[in-house]
Chains A and B, each alone.
Chain A
Amino acid sequence: MNSFPKQLPGRQKGMAFLSITLVMLVAMTLMTAIGARVAVNSQRMAANSAHADRAFQVADAGVDTALAYMNYNREYVASTATNGWLHSGSSPKWVPCSSSDTAVPCGDGSVNLYGSDWLAYGPVPNLQQVDADFNNDIYLISDNIDDVPANQPWLTCMQILRTAAVDPDLLVRLNLIYNMLVAHGSPLQANLCFPLHFNTALTPPPPSSSNPTLRAVASARNTADARGGRAQVQQDLQTNSRFIRDPLAPLVVHGTPHLDGSIRIWGNPRPPSHPPYDWSILNLNDVAGLNVSSMLSAYLTANATTLASLLNMTETEALALNWNVTFPLAIWSDQSTAFSNSPANANFMNGARTCMPPFDNVANSSCLTLSYDNIAPGLMMRMPDVQDPVNTANTLANLVDSTAPVSFPNDLLDHLFGVPESQVAEIREDATVLSDCTGLSSKPGGFYWVTGNCAITGTVGSEADPLVLVTEGTVSMAGSSEFWGVMYMRGNSHREIEGSWSGLRPTIFGALMVSQTVHLYKNLNIVYNNDVIRRAGYRAGEFVRLPGGWTDEFSGP
C-alpha cells in the first residue's frame, strides 16, 4: 500500500521519453531498411552484370574449345571411315538437323534455324570446365562438312591447243593464236585467262554445298541464376591451307634437278596470275614480236557467243573480262645448269620429257624430249623472283633467257609452309610423324612427316583425299604406285626418288618440292594437279576463325 504512490511519478516521466525514443527508433529502422533495400538491389544489379559478363566469357571460351577440338580431331571431322564423324556407326557423329528441330544448335531454343541440309555435332566434350558455376554447351554445325574449299576463282583459263575439238573441261581451243605462235617457230602451249574476282559483274556465290559453312555454337548458363547468367556466342570456321603458296610447278627444286631416267613431267597449264605470281601473265604487246593483243581481241570478238555460253554470262560481260595469255610451267629451279643439255652438264638423260596435259600414262603422245633447243616457255624454265610481287620481267624474252638474274626463294620450306627452316620443329609438331612409309597407303588425307626412307607401294592418298608428305630420307616408288598430294623432300643427304622399270610408270599427282639438289631416276611421272594440291593443303591444314563470322546473341530479327 505504501509503496504504490512512490512509483507513480516515475512512470509518468518515462512515457514521453519512451514515445519519442520509439518514434525515432521506428524512423531510423525504416531509413535503415530502405537503405538496405537499395543496397541489396544495387548488389543484385552488380551480381547480374557480373554473371552476364562471366557467362559471356565462358561462352566465348567455348568457341576456342570447339576450335581446338576440331583441330585435334581433324582426321575424323570429314571422314566416313570408322570413327569418322560421317561414319554411321560412330559416336559421336554428325547428325542431320530436322526442320522441326528447335533445340540448339539446329535452333535457338524456340525457333528452328537450320533445316535438314545442316549437320549438327555435339555437345563437344568439355573436359576443362572454365567456370564451375556455369554449364558450358558447345556444338558444331555445318551445311557441308565434306567439302574442302574449291579451287578459288583467282583465275579461269582456257587452253589454246593445236586441235579444234571442243574440250569438255571448259577449255576453248584458241587455234588462231596457237597457230600464229607455232608459225613463229616455238612449240608453245598458251592459255587464255581472266581473273574472275576482278569482274564486278559477277556476284559472290551464296552459301551452298560448294561454299561450306562450319560453325561453332557455344552457350553458357549460370546454374544458380538462369535469367541473369546466360550467353551464347557463335563463330564461323574455315579450313586454312597448310600452304601459304601453292607449288606453282610440278617440280620445284632449290638446286639442280638431275633427271637421270625416263622422267615425264606434265606441267602446270594454269600458272596463277595473282600476286606474287604476276609474272606468268605476258605482256600482250610484246610476245616474240607478235601483236597478241590484237589477235586476242579479234579472236574474242569472233567467238563471243561461244565464250558467253561457256561462262554463263552475256557477251558483253565475257568480253569485258580481263583476258590474258599465260604459259604453263614444268620445272622451276634456281640452277641455270639445269637447263643445259651440254655434255658437261648432263642433267637430263634423253628419256626426260615434259608433256602437255591431259595426263596419259601409256601413250605419252604429247611429251617432248628435253633438249636445250626445245626448252620453250611453259615447258621448263627458271623464273625471276616470284616472292617479289613487283616483277616486270614478264616478257617472253626474259622468260627463256637463262642468263637473266634469278631470285629463287632461299628457303623453300618458308616459301611453301610459311615456316622458316630454322623453326622446322614448329611445323613438324603439327604433322603425324612416321619412321617410314609402311601403311601410308591406308592413311587418310592429312599432314605426314617421315623421318626415314620412304618406300611407296600401291596408292597413297587419292584425288579426293590427298596428303602432304615431308620426307627426310630417300623415296622409292614401286611400279604402278601412285602418290596423290604434295611431297616435300628436305633431307641433308640422299635426296633421290627411285622410280620403277616394271609395271605402269609410278606417278606423283600434285607436286614435288625439294629443298636441295635431287636425283630422279628410272621411270617416273610427275603430273601437276592444282585441285589435288589445293585439297592436300586444306586436308593438312587447320581450322581457323573466319573473319566476320563471330557473333553473340543479340536481338536480331
Chain B
Amino acid sequence: MLNRRISSRRSNAGFSMIEVMVAMTISLLLFGGLLNAYVSTISSSTQLMTTAHLDNELHKMLDMMARDIRRAGTHGNPQVLVTGVTNPFGVEGTGAYTGETANSCLVFSYDWDSDGVLDTSGQDERYGFRLKQGVVQSRVSGLGCDADGTPNWENVTDPRSYNITSLQFAPTTVSADDMSIRSVRITMAAELVSDTSVVRSLSKTVRVRNDLRNP
C-alpha cells in the first residue's frame, strides 16, 4: 500500500532539471556520434561512387577508342589489294596537339561505307583521337593532330567532371614474311575536377585486325 503510493506519486512528478540535462547531454553525444558516422559513411560512399564513375567513364572511353582503332585498315573491296594496290586505309600515325606530350594523338582510317575509296568529304573516313588541354577529342574532316578548323575536333570526354591528365598511343608493327601485324597500346590517366586527389589510370592493347601487306 505504502509502496504503491510512493511510486504513484513519483510517476506523476516531472524530471528534475539535472535529469533532463544529463539525458540531453547523453542523447546529444549519441546523436552527434551517429550523425558523424553517417556523414562520413555518406562522404566515403560518395567518393567511392565518383571514383567508380571516373573508372567507368575511362573504361567506356578506352573501349570506344579500342573498337574504332581495331577497324583501322578495313577496306570495302580488299580483293584489289591482292593485285598490288596499296591499302588507302590504315593507321596513319601518331602526333600531338601543340603543347601536349608526343604521341598523344593517333590518326587512322577505315572504310565506313565499304566502297573501297577513302572518302574525304561527306562522311569523312579519316578518324583519330587526340588529347587537347585535358579533353579527349575525336577527329573531324581529316584535320591533322595539331590542327584546329571548322568543323573542329569534337570533345568526347566531359571537361566539367574530369580531366584527362595523359593520353599515349604506342603503335607497334611486327613484320612476318609479307604481312605486318599492327597493334596499338593506349594508356590514359584522368582526375576528377571536383576532387583532384581522385586519379585513375588505365591501359589497353588493341590488335589492329587488318594486317598490312608489305610492299
Contacts and interface: CB of A to CB of B under 8 A. Distances in A.
A556 B211 contact: no
B78 A552 contact: no
Interface string A19-42: 000000000100100010010001
Interface in A523-557: 545-552, 554, 556-557
Give the 4 A-B residue pairs with the shortest CB-CB distance, closest first.
A548-B75, A548-B78, A204-B80, A549-B78
B80 A205 contact: yes
B71 A551 contact: yes
Contacts of B4: 2
Given A548-B87, A551-B110, 18 more contacts: A38-B49, A42-B53, A42-B56, A204-B83, A205-B80, A205-B83, A206-B77, A207-B77, A211-B80, A236-B78, A238-B82, A547-B73, A547-B211, A548-B74, A548-B210, A549-B75, A551-B114, A556-B112
A537 B40 CA distance: 74
Q: Could you say which of B11, B79, B84 has the most chain A C-beta atoms within 10 Å of its C-beta?
A: B79
A107 to B, nearest CB: 15
Interface string B39-70: 00010010001001100100110010001001
B74 A550 contact: yes
B185 interface: no
B78 A153 contact: no
B118 interface: no
Interface in A63-101: none
Nearest to B31: A20
Contact of A547 (B38, B123, B213): B213
Interface residues on B, range: 35 or more
Contacts of A554: 67, 71, 112
A500 to B, nearest CB: 41
Contacts of A6: 7-8, 11
A236 B49 CA distance: 44
Contacts of B67: 552, 554
A245 interface: no
A259 to B, nearest CB: 36
A9 interface: yes
A252 to B, nearest CB: 22
Contacts of A2: 4, 8
A238 B79 contact: yes
Contacts of B78: 236, 546-549
A35 B45 contact: yes
A235 to B, nearest CB: 8
Contacts of A205: 79-80, 83
Interface in B182-211: 209-211
Nearest to A195: B84
B81 A548 contact: yes
7 contacts: A42-B53, A49-B60, A204-B80, A546-B79, A547-B81, A548-B87, A554-B71
A28 B35 CA distance: 11
B8 A31 contact: no
B127 to A, nearest CB: 11
A196 to B, nearest CB: 9
Contacts of B59: 49
Q: Could you say which of B89, B123, B209 has the most chain A C-beta atoms within 10 Å of its C-beta?
A: B209
B210 A46 contact: no
A162 interface: no
Contacts of A28: 38
Contacts of B110: 551
A152 interface: yes
B156 interface: no
A45 interface: yes
Contacts of A152: 82-83
A211 B79 contact: yes
Contact of B8 (A5, A153, A197): A5
A153 B83 contact: yes
Contact of A557 (B12, B52, B75, B123): B123
Contacts of A552: 67, 70-71
Nearest to A238: B82
Contact of B87 (A53, A206, A545, A547): A547
Contacts of B80: 204-205, 211
B79 A5 contact: no
A6 B11 CA distance: 6
A31 B42 contact: yes
A551 B71 CA distance: 6
B102 interface: no
Nearest to B27: A17
Contacts of A551: 71, 74, 110-111, 114
B87 A556 contact: no
A149 interface: yes
B48 to A, nearest CB: 10
Contact of A548 (B7, B73, B123): B73
B113 interface: yes
Nearest to A17: B27
B21 interface: no
